[in-house]
Amino acid sequence: MDYHGPKNDGNRGGGLFTDPRGWFHTGTLRCDPCGAPTRHALINQPDSFIRDLAEQYQRYALGGDWGGDYAPDRERVREEYFAQFPRNPYVHHWYSVDEAQAAWEAGERTVIALCGDTMTLKREPNTCRGGRGAELYELVEPNEVHDVEYEDSETGLWWDDLDCVNCLRVTNERRRNRRRRLLESWLAWFAQHPEAISDSEADALIELFTPLVAALNEDK
């Protein structure tokens, strides 16, 4: 919808992370059921280049890819984003072991997690390193949520003890891309060397690809 509200609209937001009123595109609209002016999300037209701009910036700040040309400075975006919200110190993050080990050897005891948050290194990262085999291609399932909480004496808030959902998302996005590249290389090689596939292996491949091809044809 088109919105031409005043600049002093108290519900107006959309200046991204530097706007103290909020960085989603919002404004005051009259509620149809009750007639009261309330804060609403402003949805741009589907072909608008800023339709999902705030969401794109948020995803980028939290470790995702930019998804286009001319990506902004991620460090600056993260600084502005994290300044808007208090940080939960009890969230368990994922991080690059290589980056953490380099930081450790440089005498630093913190590292930037996949989501952009800063986490403390309690021991040498290389001692926590797992294998580099098939598990790096497997998607990670979230752990079961529990009800452990800790009170923050400074703010009076309660923090949940949980895994970082943004680190989990970035981890699975990277693993998904990694195994797609692996499959692409395998398929390309076998496409050039079909004689290397035995009859029984061909039967298994045909059984696997038949429903995939059928689903692809239905989408056309």
Question: What is the 3-class SS of 155-214, one letter each residue?
Answer: CCCEEECEECHHHHHHHHHHHHHHHHHHHHHHHHHHHHCHHHCCHHHHHHHHHHHHHHHH
Residue 68 DSSP class: S
Model confidence, pTM: 0.76
Amino acid 31: pLDDT: 77
User: pLDDT band at residue 38, thresholds of 50, 70 and 90?
Assistant: confident
Tell me: the pLDDT tens digits for 105-124? 999 999 999 999 999 998 89
Residue found by looking up tokens 């996005």 in the block: 173
Residue 65, SS3 per DSSP: coil
Quick one: which H or E segment has residue 60? helix 53-61
How far is residue 23's CA from residue 41's CA, in Å, rounded to a whole number? 11
Is the Cβ–Cβ distance between 23 and 54 less than 8 Å? yes
